[in-house]
Amino acid sequence: MMEPRIEILSTGAELLDGRTADTNAAEIAAALGGIGLRVASTHAGGDDVDEIHALLRDILRRSSLCVCTGGLGPTRDDLTREAVARVCGRPLKLDEASLRNIRDRFAKYNRPMPESNNRQAMFPGGAEILPTRVGTAPGFAVDSDESLIVCMPGVPREMRHMLRESVLPLLRKRFPTSRCIRGKVLRLFGISESSLADTLGEIMNPGRDPSVGTAASHGVISIIIRSHGKDAERVERALAETETRIRALVGKHVFGEGEMNLEEAVAQLLEEHDMTIATAESCTGGMVGALLTNVPGISRFYPGGVVCYGDEAKMELLGVPRETLQSKGAVSDEVARALAEGVRKRFRSDIGVGVTGIAGPAGGTRDKPVGLVYIAVADGQGTESREFRFSGERRAIRLRAALTALNMTRARGSDAEEERSDGKGLTPRFK
């Protein structure tokens, strides 16, 4: 059987003027690869029905499948359904069941449904409707001659859910393949992308199977390992061997797999050790606490935190000595330690985290430049404090500092895991 040619079309003016990055296309391509289907190319179009129609027409001339995202909302600039109906030669029809579902969703939240949402229940004749439990925009799949068009919403969360629940099962049936593709994503922090590349060396050589690539965002690096072939057992074995080699080289920096983030890794350690954490933040302004509260159920392990931006707050709320602030300055190793120890005492938590620094763009000096941050982690074994120099604009420095604070906490807990794994039965370092 000939391998189907697949292309992705993302629509929305925000993709063309730089307001939004097209992360949907990358996620779709990776998911299709996971079921043995390779994407040949991706495209982006604006909010113009003629433009979308022209792009679709060209794609369908050469491809068996076009996966579209965006343009299924209720507003006048959501035009994907109209363009698809035109290219297929099938007029739009109202689907009463979809309309009821949309109305029920508004009623559930005690909100009146605007008339404009009726458009979201319109589909090209003969389309297979892909229901949604996230958002109000159903998707659909429709044939155009010998090709298939699949349309999903552009909101990443809505797209992701529909892709997993409806689209991938549909495509497995429509495009069966004997080709086996397996992938693994390792998540790291505390190493630069260039240092990682040097450390991995030939493992990242082009043309190698399994292939190994990286992607980075605010210091978090994803190592993407992918293997393919017709022998599933060989593919799995090659993937596992490469993962083992990578972990042997950079394992101390690995905090999770897949889409796991640092706050989830910290929450997992807290749960494993039955411990609590409290945060004292100056330059990060609550970012560490905000990241932690992204994790459902974190209230069991995170009683709270203090944003102590001014010196008076540091002294009154957390007991930072006035003489320390005067002699060492608010941005110092000593103050970071006092913050971590003070917040641990105030909340009676097992762990205290303190962050103080200069996020800029003003406020830096020759001795204490913009980007200088001190982070401390206090627990039953003592207090660890480190100095960092971050670069970038204000928000980037604050976010990098918050992530680094979480990683210091994670690494301190991971040391305990390594100690216990040698069979000596040592107590966790946290305690």
The structural domains of the chain, ordered by start, are 6-174 (3.40.980.10), 180-257 (3.30.70.2860), 262-420 (3.90.950.20)
- Residue 54, pLDDT above cutoff 50: yes
* Overall average pLDDT of the 279-307 stretch: 98
Query: How high is the pLDDT of residue 35?
Result: 87
Is the bond preceding residue 112 a cis peptide, omega within 30 degrees?
no
By CB neighbour count within 10 A (0-12 exposed, 13-18 middle, 19+ buried), where does 306 fall? buried
DSSP for residue 163: I
Q: What pLDDT score was predicted for residue 423?
A: 34
Measuring CA to CA, how many Å separate 257 from each of 23, 265, 355, 414?
Answer: 19, 10, 27, 15
Q: Read off the pLDDT of residues 190-207 as tens digits, 9 standing for 90 and up.
A: 999 999 999 999 999 999
Confidence (pLDDT) at 1: 56
In 3D space, the residue among 419, 407, 332 whose CA is nearest the CA of residue 381 turns out to be 419
Average pLDDT over residues 27-38: 89
Nearest to 413 by CA among 428, 426, 391: 428
Q: Burial-class residue 159 by CB neighbours within 10 Å (0-12, 13-18, 19+).
A: buried
Q: CB–CB of 236/182 below 8 Å?
A: yes
Residues 142-174: tens digit of each pLDDT:
999 999 999 999 999 999 999 999 999 999 999
**How confident is the model over 84-103, as a mean pLDDT?**
95
Q: What is the pLDDT of residues 413-423, one digit of tens each?
A: 776 444 433 33
Q: Which long-range contacts link 217-221 to residues 24+ away (Cβ below 8 Å)?
A: 218/396, 218/399, 218/400, 218/403, 219/189, 219/190, 219/400, 219/403, 219/404, 220/187, 220/188, 220/189, 220/261, 220/262, 220/403, 221/187, 221/188, 221/189, 221/191, 221/193, 221/196
Query: Quick one: pLDDT at residue 259?
Result: 87
Tell me what pLDDT residue 252 has: 94
In this model, does residue 360 exceed pLDDT 90?
A: yes
pLDDT at 420: 37
pLDDT of residue 177: 84
Average pLDDT, the chain: 93
Which range among 114-118, 175-179, 422-426 shows the weakest confidence by mean pLDDT?
Answer: 422-426
The dihedrals phi and psi of 321, each to the nearest 5 degrees, come to -65, 135
Mean pLDDT for 299-307 is: 98
Instruction: Tell me which of 406 and 179 has the higher pLDDT.
Output: 406
- pLDDT given at position 388: 97
Report pLDDT for 428: 41
Averaged pLDDT for residues 316-338? 98
Banded pLDDT at 328 (limits 50, 70, 90): very high
Q: How confident is the model at residue 181 (pLDDT cuts 50, 70, 90)?
A: confident
pLDDT band at 97 (very low <50, low <70, confident <90, very high): very high
